[in-house]
Structure 1
């Protein structure tokens, strides 16, 4: 859902009034792991990864105010929470960015989707391209004729009830990293992620106060030690 210009201006104004101690404390509160080369944080839902065209409030800009050397590697959707890795120097940024390009990092998200999806333990894949659709922005759509493929592996964890409605908790492993890939792939499967302000409607939207999508686990090679490291963030829903 688009944010009104009045809200954008209010948020920008509020952000400009915070002092350096606010940003340092913010960074400290969300830090999962830090060393001389990398910073792992637990991104809050509802916060842009990078500044938008109008809204100048984002995870990156806040972290840069705490440490000007912070460098972006990848992004999460504004509505998604969970693990994000940043570099603290250019060589580390180059090293880890190359890993993402080569699809070396192992990523696991958790999501809660509307309805009963298969049986617990069921594994599958969704292999259909995802592209931006300007006529219904900011939505993306599944398009089998699009040139760039998109692949997600999933596993059904268990079934739950939310407000008396059947939902399913799933683990999602994106092999590619297209914008809105997990959200569109689950919708394409017929089980939209609950609380999604862009793709969910009716009960699927109202049943949860936020998008139930969280970057739960991340595993990759450290840029200088060249050893595998793994992190996990508690799922908040």
Structure 2
């Protein structure tokens, strides 16, 4: 849990004190595209997609305060930023949810991972089943015997040098790799676990990274950059893109 219990209580109470204008302004600021059927949002990092068991502050709950008709389709991890699509009626929700089940939507993420990984322009795939591991909650792990496969395509975009704060040695330069990730399947924590599996954890990952890999970035460097799917009414393919914030 990223917050102490007392802070969660404070956040929950504070959320109930905001006037309607706050939620209207928030919705406007995060909107990428909107029509009568769909609502494409650029989710900030650090905000839940839906309310949790204790923390009742989320993207969905805020959007519902702006438009009670909004309906959930898919999610991003709290620490991940980027594109999410919501429906504005039941028919659109059913249509797009079916597209996700059939794996029609195309999603592209960008991440920065620790270390120098392959050469720029290299492409490949990671096929390794991912499952939840209850003994290390909330971690997931690669389990070759798990019955649900997980597949991620990747492309190496660049190698970069970053400065991380080391408690003993002060500023220390580290090599990181910028990579495009395309999840073919949609398992929980899939991209984060697949990067660990490859030996290049996503920097700033508070669940899986340690030491310099964790401290080199102030947030998880994972962003849902592109989304492509069919409009539920028009039937035409539509594309959206969000600027990468790191």
C-alpha distance in 2 between matches for 1:124 and 1:187: 16
Task: Give the whole-Å Cα distance in 2 for the aligned partners of 1:7 and 1:151.
Answer: 37
- Name stretches of at least 5 consecutive residues in structure 2 with no aligned partner: 164-172
> What TM-score does the superposition give when structure 2 sets the normalisation length?
0.96
Deviation at 1:3, TM superposition (A): 2.1
Please report the RMSD computed on the Cα atoms of aligned residues, expressed in angstroms: 0.6
CA distance in 2, matches of 1:96, 1:228: 12
Provide the C-alpha distance between the structure 2 equivalents of 1:117 and 1:201, rounded to a whole number of angstroms: 18
What corresponds to 1:56 in structure 2? 56
Q: What is the distance in 2 between the residues matched to 1:102 and 1:179?
A: 17
Counterparts of residues 31-70 of structure 1 (less than 5 Å) = 31-70=31-70
Gap regions ≥5 residues in structure 1: none
Between the aligned partners of 2:18 and 2:144, the Cα distance in structure 1 is 47
Q: How does 1:63-212 map to 2 (within 5 A)?
A: 63-163=63-163, 164-212=173-221
**Which SS does the other structure have where 2:103 is aligned?**
coil
Residue by residue over 1:7-63, the C-alpha shift from the partner in whole angstroms, topping out at 9 and shown as x without a partner, is 110110110111111001000000000000000010000000000000000000000
TM-score (norm 1): 0.99
Alpha-carbon separation, structure 2, partners of 1:18 and 1:178: 35
Distance 1:102 1:7 in 2: 40
Consecutive aligned runs of 4 or more in structure 1 exceeding 4 Å deviation? none
Decide which moves more: 1-10 or 137-146.
1-10
Instruction: Give the deviation of 1:2 after TM superposition.
Output: 3.7
Query: 2-side partners of 1:214 and 1:2: how far apart?
Result: 19
* Separation (CA, whole Å) in 1 of partners of 2:188 and 2:3: 20
